[in-house]
C-alpha cells in the first residue's frame, strides 16, 4: 500500500526538505482528524487524501497544494474549523481547503440544483486561487478510480457529472493527463460493456500491428538522425472514449479508426520543430488541409504543437505531432506547469501564458455567474463554454481572438468586451460590411461598429453560440424589459388614476405602501412592472389606490389631469414591452390603438384591425396610442400586387424597392392563370409616407393591374 514515506521520497525530487516536512505534518493531522472513518471500500479514510496528494505530486504541484490535498475533507467531515487550519498551516492552505470543501449539506429541491450550487462555490474559490480547481480535479480523479464500491445508479450520476464538467475543465486548463483518464473512467462507468469490448479490440489490434508501428517509428527516427535533427519519436495511443466518439460520430467501423497511426516527436526548441516538419514532409507526402500550427497560435488552454497527417506506405494515414519538451509538459500538465516552473524545475515560465489565460477564463465565469438568473442557468452556460474546436480571428490592430467553431460577429463583439457587444450595430469583415449573424472563419479581420444608446436584440439569442454572449444578452434584455415595464406601468397607472382626478405623485404617502403590503410586494417598481407586463390591470390598481384617498382630498389640477389623459407615445420598434401586431403591420402615421397582453405588455394594432373586435367591448384593455415624432427605425408592411407574369419580374421589383431606400424581407408569387400573377411582398419601410412613395412607383410599372396593402 502507498504510504506517506513513499510520497516523501517522490517529493524529494523537486521540493526542499522543509516543505516536505510540512506536507508530512499535514498528513499526520488529517490521519488524526479522520481517525475511525473508513471509505466504502473498507480502507481507512486517510488513504483518499494521500492518493489525491500523490496525483498532484505526479504533476509537481507546490507544497501548499499538497497540504490542501491532505486536508481537503477535514472541514466537511470532521469537527475541525477553517480558523484552526489557518492557525496550524497558514491562511493560504486554509483558503485552499475551504475552496475545495463541498457545500455544507443543504436540502435542495433536486440533485441538479445541489451540483450547480456546489460548482458556483467552486468558481468563487477558483477566482481567489486557481489551485483550488487542480486539487478538486485530483480529488475527483481518485474518486473515479474507486467508483467500484458505489451503487450502479450513483456510479452513472457521478460519471456523467465528471464527463460534462470536470473532464471539460481539465481540458480547458490544458491538464491532458487528468482529462484523458477522467473521460475513460467515466466511459467505463456509463458504458461498461462497450468500454470492455473496445479495450480488448485495441489490445488485439496493437498486437497485430506491432511490426508496422516499429517500422514507421524507425523510419521517422532515421529521417531525423540522417538530417542531424534532435528529436525522439514515440508512439501515441488513442484513449477509449476518443475511439468510441469517432466510431459513433463519423459512423466508421473500429478497423478504420485504428488504421490511423499516431506518433509524437519531442525535440529541443521551436526552430527544430519546423525543421523536423520539413523533414517528415520530405519522407512522407502530407495530406492537404490537415496541417495545423498551434505553436504560432496556441489553443486557449496554452497547448502548443505542430499537427500534420502523412500518407504512409500503402496509403495508410500517419498522424504526427511535433513539439518541444516544454510544450510536452504543458500538454500533459497544463496550468499545473506554472507551479512546476515556480518550483524551479524548468528553465523558463512555460505556463505563464496559460496561467494568465486560465485567470481570464475564471474572470469570465464570474461575470457569467453575476448575470445568470440562477445556478442551473449558470452551469448550462459553463457547459457550453468548455470549448469545442476553435477559430482564430484578428482585431483591426492585429490582436488574435480565439472563438469556438461557428461563432458569429456578435460572439466576437462580446468576447472583446460586454459593452462593445451591447452597443454593437454593424461590423466589417475584411473591410466589407457584413450581417451581425455572419459565421466567422479563421484568419478574418473584424471591426465592430458601435453606437451610444444601442441595445441588444432578442433575435441575437437565436444565433450566438458562446456562453459569455448568451448570458450578457439575456442579462441586458432582462434589465431592458424591467426598465421599460416599469416606465410603461407608471404611465398606465397614472392614466387610470386620471379617472379619479389623481396621479401617483398626488397620492397620500401611506396609500402606495399599504397596497404593496396587501399584494405582498416589496417595492413600487414590482407593482409598476407587473402592470406594464399586463399581469395586473391598471384600472383595478387605480381603484384600490383611489379608495384609500379621503373624500376631502383636493382634486388634481387640470394640467396634471390633462397630462395623464394624453395618449401613450410609441417611440420605437424594438421595445421589450411594446410589440407590433403581425396581423395588420402598423406603421408610423397609421391611427393605432393598443391592448394589454399578459406577459408581453402593449400590443399595437391599426384601429381598423379586425382582431380588435372582441376587445372593443372591454375599454379597460384598450389604450389610445400615438406616434413619437422622432422614430428612426424600419417597420414591416405587407403588399399584394396583381400583375402580368413575365421574365425578370422579381429582379425588377427588387431593383425598384432598393432604389426607394427600402428592404425586401419576404417575397412570394402565386399564379392566377397563364397571364396573371399575384406577388406577396413584405417590405421594411420608415412610415406611411415612405410606403406611399414605394406603392406609387410599383403602380407605375407596366402591366401592374393593382396594388394594395394587406389589412389582415
Look-up of cell digits 513539439: 323
Q: Is 592 exposed, middle or buried (0-12, 13-18, 19+ CB in 10 A)?
A: buried
Separation CA 264–CA 258 (nearest Å): 16
Name the E strands within 206-291. 232-235, 261-267, 285-286
Take residue 710 and report the three cell numbers written for it. Answer: 394587406
Separation CA 414–CA 470 (nearest Å): 9
Residues 374 and 100: beta-carbon distance below 8 Å: no
Separation CA 605–CA 579 (nearest Å): 9
Q: Is 199 exposed, middle or buried (0-12, 13-18, 19+ CB in 10 A)?
A: middle
Helix H or strand E encompassing 311: strand 306-311
Query: What are residue 318's DSSP bridge partners?
Result: 261, 310
Q: Which of 115, 189, 123 is nearest to 156 (CA)?
A: 189
Separation CA 210–CA 195 (nearest Å): 22
Look-up of cell digits 421595445: 575
Return the active site residues: 76-77
Q: Is 25 exposed, middle or buried (0-12, 13-18, 19+ CB in 10 A)?
A: middle
Residues 6+ apart with CB under 8 A from 223: 279, 280, 282, 283
Separation CA 657–CA 664 (nearest Å): 7
Take residue 405 and report the three cell numbers written for it. Answer: 467553431
Query: What are residue 663's DSSP bridge partners?
Result: 684
Q: How far is CA 532 from CA 488, 517, 529, 542, 598, in A?
A: 5, 19, 5, 14, 9
Residues 53 and 120: beta-carbon distance below 8 Å: no
Take residue 666 and report the three cell numbers written for it. Answer: 419576404
Separation CA 81–CA 91 (nearest Å): 12
What does 208-273 look like in DSSP terms, one character per residue?
HTHHHHHHHHHHHHHHHHHTT---EEEE-PPPHHHHHHHHHHTT--HHHHHTSEEEEEEESSHHHH
What is the Cα gyration radius of the chain? 34
Separation CA 502–CA 624 (nearest Å): 19
Residues 548 and 513: beta-carbon distance below 8 Å: no
Helix H or strand E encompassing 476: helix 467-497
Q: Which of 305, 300, 298 is nearest to 325 (CA)?
A: 305
Q: Which of 277, 337, 340, 271 is nearest to 307 (CA)?
A: 277
Between CA 381 and CA 387, with CA 382 as vertex, the angle to 5 degrees is 110
Backbone angles phi, psi at 429, to 5 degrees: -110, 120
CB atoms within 10 A of CB 430: 11
Amino acid at each position: 500500500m502507498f504510504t506517506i514515506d513513499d510520497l516523501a521520497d517522490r517529493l524529494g525530487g523537486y521540493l526542499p526538505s522543509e516543505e516536505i516536512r510540512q506536507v508530512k505534518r499535514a498528513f499526520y493531522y488529517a490521519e488524526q482528524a479522520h481517525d475511525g472513518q473508513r471509505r466504502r471500500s473498507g480502507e481507512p479514510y486517510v488513504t483518499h487524501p494521500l492518493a489525491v496528494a500523490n496525483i498532484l505530486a505526479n504533476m509537481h504541484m507546490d507544497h501548499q497544494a499538497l497540504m490542501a490535498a491532505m486536508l481537503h475533507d477535514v472541514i466537511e467531515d470532521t469537527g475541525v474549523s477553517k480558523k484552526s487550519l489557518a492557525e496550524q498551516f497558514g491562511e493560504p492552505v486554509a483558503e485552499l481547503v475551504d475552496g475545495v470543501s463541498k457545500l455544507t449539506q443543504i436540502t435542495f429541491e433536486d440533485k441538479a440544483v445541489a451540483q450547480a450550487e456546489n460548482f458556483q462555490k467552486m468558481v468563487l474559490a477558483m477566482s481567489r486561487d486557481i489551485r483550488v480547481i487542480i486539487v478538486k480535479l485530483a480529488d475527483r480523479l481518485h474518486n473515479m478510480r474507486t467508483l467500484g464500491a458505489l451503487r450502479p445508479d450513483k456510479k452513472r450520476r457521478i460519471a456523467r457529472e465528471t464527463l460534462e464538467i470536470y473532464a471539460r475543465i481539465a481540458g480547458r486548463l490544458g491538464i491532458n493527463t487528468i482529462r484523458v483518464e477522467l473521460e475513460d473512467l467515466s466511459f467505463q462507468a456509463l458504458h461498461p460493456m462497450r468500454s470492455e469490448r473496445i479495450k480488448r479490440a485495441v489490445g488485439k489490434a496493437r498486437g497485430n500491428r506491432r511490426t508496422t508501428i516499429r517500422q514507421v517509428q524507425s523510419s521517422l527516427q532515421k529521417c531525423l538522425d540522417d538530417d542531424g535533427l534532435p528529436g525522439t519519436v514515440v508512439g501515441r495511443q488513442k484513449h477509449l472514449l476518443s475511439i468510441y466518439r469517432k466510431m459513433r460520430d463519423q459512423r466508421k467501423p473500429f478497423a478504420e479508426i485504428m488504421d490511423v497511426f499516431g506518433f509524437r516527436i519531442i525535440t529541443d526548441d521551436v526552430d527544430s520543430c519546423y525543421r523536423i516538419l520539413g523533414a517528415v514532409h520530405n519522407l512522407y507526402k502530407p495530406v492537404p488541409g490537415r496541417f495545423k500550427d498551434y505553436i504560432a497560435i496556441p489553443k486557449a488552454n496554452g497547448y502548443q504543437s505542430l499537427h500534420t497527417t502523412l500518407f504512409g506506405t500503402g496509403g495508410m494515414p500517419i498522424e504526427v505531432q511535433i513539439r518541444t519538451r516544454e510544450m510536452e509538459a504543458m500538454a500533459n500538465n497544463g496550468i499545473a506547469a506554472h507551479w512546476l516552473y515556480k518550483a524551479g524545475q524548468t528553465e523558463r515560465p512555460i505556463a505563464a501564458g496559460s496561467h494568465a489565460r486560465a485567470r481570464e477564463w475564471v474572470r469570465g465565469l464570474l461575470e457569467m455567474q453575476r448575470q445568470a438568473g440562477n445556478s442551473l442557468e449558470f452551469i448550462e452556460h459553463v457547459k457550453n463554454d468548455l470549448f469545442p474546436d476553435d477559430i482564430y480571428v484578428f482585431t483591426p490592430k492585429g490582436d488574435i481572438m480565439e472563438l469556438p467553431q461557428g461563432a458569429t460577429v456578435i460572439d466576437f463583439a462580446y468576447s472583446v468586451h460586454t459593452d462593445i457587444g451591447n452597443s454593437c450595430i454593424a461590423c466589417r469583415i475584411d473591410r466589407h460590411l457584413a450581417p451581425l449573424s455572419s459565421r466567422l472563419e479563421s484568419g478574418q479581420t473584424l471591426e465592430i461598429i458601435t453606437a451610444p444608446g444601442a441595445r441588444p436584440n432578442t433575435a441575437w439569442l437565436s444565433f450566438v453560440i458562446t456562453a459569455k454572449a448568451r448570458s450578457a444578452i439575456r442579462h441586458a434584455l432582462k434589465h431592458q424589459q424591467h426598465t421599460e415595464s416599469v416606465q410603461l406601468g407608471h404611465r398606465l397607472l397614472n392614466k387610470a388614476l386620471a379617472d379619479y382626478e389623481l396621479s401617483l405623485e398626488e397620492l397620500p404617502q401611506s396609500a402606495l405602501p399599504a397596497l404593496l403590503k396587501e399584494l405582498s410586494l416589496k417595492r413600487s417598481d414590482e407593482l409598476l412592472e407587473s402592470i406594464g407586463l399586463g399581469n395586473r390591470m391598471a384600472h383595478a390598481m387605480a381603484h384600490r389606490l383611489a379608495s384609500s384617498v379621503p373624500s376631502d382630498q383636493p382634486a388634481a389640477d387640470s394640467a396634471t389631469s390633462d397630462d395623464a389623459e394624453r395618449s401613450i407615445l410609441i417611440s420605437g420598434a424594438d421595445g421589450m414591452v411594446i410589440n407590433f401586431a403581425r396581423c395588420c403591420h402598423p406603421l408610423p402615421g397609421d391611427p393605432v390603438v393598443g391592448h394589454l397582453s399578459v406577459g408581453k405588455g402593449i400590443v399595437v394594432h391599426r384601429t381598423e384591425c379586425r382582431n380588435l373586435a372582441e376587445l372593443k367591448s372591454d375599454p379597460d384593455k384598450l389604450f389610445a396610442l400615438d406616434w413619437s415624432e422622432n422614430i428612426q427605425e424600419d417597420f414591416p408592411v405587407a403588399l399584394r400586387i396583381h400583375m402580368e407574369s413575365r421574365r425578370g419580374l422579381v429582379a425588377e421589383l427588387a431593383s425598384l424597392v432598393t432604389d426607394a431606400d427600402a428592404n425586401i424581407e419576404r417575397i412570394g408569387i402565386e399564379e392566377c392563370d397563364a397571364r396573371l400573377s399575384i406577388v406577396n411582398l413584405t417590405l421594411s419601410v420608415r412610415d406611411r409616407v415612405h410606403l406611399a412613395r414605394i406603392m406609387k412607383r410599383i403602380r407605375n410599372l407596366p402591366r401592374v393591374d393593382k396594388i394594395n396593402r394587406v389589412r389582415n
